[in-house]
């Protein structure tokens, strides 16, 4: 079967750095997305990785290792507004999106 694993919840301190991991087992791979979603709102796109390596975009970076079936989202200089759920989603060989359940990130002052 196809599976995406993320931690259910993480807590971090304002100003710190946090890494949210995502591991996947899917039938084929055509890219991996990270989304941010605040409670009651639609998810917003953060990053897309299809090749191995690190993609940096401001305070957020996303890393992919296809051989390990692994990705992480790195958030630096955490702000209170970063409190949200972070969704990992993989595009499989049929271009179907396989979603992780999301990681709820709680930022404490």
Per CB under 8 A, the segment of 21-29, 42-50, 57-65, 71-79 that binds another protein is 42-50
- Cα 28–chain centre separation: 19
* Least Å from the CB of residue 42 to another protein: 5
Residue 39: CB minimum distance to another protein, A: 3
Size of the site for another protein (CB under 8 A): 25
Footprint on this chain of another protein (rule: CB under 8 A): 30-31, 33, 35, 37, 39-45, 48, 50, 85, 87, 89, 91, 94-99, 101
């Amino acid at each position: 079967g196809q599976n995406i694993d993320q931690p259910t919840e993480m807590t971090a301190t304002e100003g710190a750095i946090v890494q949210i991991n995502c591991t996947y087992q899917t039938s084929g791979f055509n890219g991996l997305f990270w989304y941010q979603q605040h409670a009651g709102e639609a998810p917003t796109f953060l990053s897309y990785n299809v090749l191995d390596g690190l993609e940096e975009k401001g305070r957020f970076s996303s890393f992919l290792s296809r051989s390990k079936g692994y990705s992480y989202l790195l958030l630096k200089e955490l702000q209170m507004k970063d409190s949200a759920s972070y969704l990992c989603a993989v595009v499989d060989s049929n271009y179907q999106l396989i979603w992780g359940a999301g990681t709820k990130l709680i930022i404490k002052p």
